[in-house]
Chain A
């Protein structure tokens, strides 16, 4: 079946612009995660949803970052007033449940100029 789909693949934003990154998880996957991967680093946890409930947002770096999953499927990560340090690859992952491995999308590469 289809994997985790993320769009856009690439996004260039001018500093101060708002961006929205979309994630379509695998159908039926309860758990959805957002990770941030800076250049040359491993992914770092941002936030976690169980269905539509955002159970943990402790990894979001600032209040400019906001994520939602209103119907328990598609999720959007929004970054307001982008800064250069927000440049990274944003990875979405989903899993059937908490005890199942993560399935990752190909990510969105955000470049803030």
Chain B
């Protein structure tokens, strides 16, 4: 069955520190992979996506993610966190051929200490 696991429910980092949010997926075919961010009371904003090609993808707000097929992972990273990055982050997976049932993880809530 298709699934997305985000093992960390909460993460706290100090401003300026590096960040890595974990995402593991289970999918029968080559997936589309996404990271979304959700601020309180807001909808989800796309940070970055992986469809094919280079396994290291760059996104907005200085985020990047690396697709590792052998580990079924798509971890999100940022070298230096800003206080405004505090939010909830969702990893999602979809099929490469015309499906629409994106499956979301349960999210990781990021807290940034000043």
Binding site for B on A (CB under 8 A): 4, 6, 31, 33, 35, 40-45, 48, 55-56, 59, 91, 93, 98-99, 101-107
Binding site for A on B (CB under 8 A): 4, 34, 36, 41-46, 49, 51, 90, 92, 98-107
Which residue on A lies nearest to B90, using beta carbons? A42
State the total of A-B contacts with C-beta under 8 angstroms.
57
B29 to chain A, nearest CB (A): 14
Cross-interface CB contact of B49 among A33, A43, A59, A101, cutoff 8 Å:
A101
Which residue on A lies nearest to B43, using beta carbons? A104
Asked if B100 and A104 sit within 8 Å, CB to CB, the answer is no
Asked if A33 and B100 sit within 8 Å, CB to CB, the answer is yes
Cross-interface CB contact of B41 among A31, A35, A106, cutoff 8 Å:
A106
Which residue on A lies nearest to B105, using beta carbons? A42
Cross-interface CB contact of A40 among B43, B99, B106, cutoff 8 Å:
B106
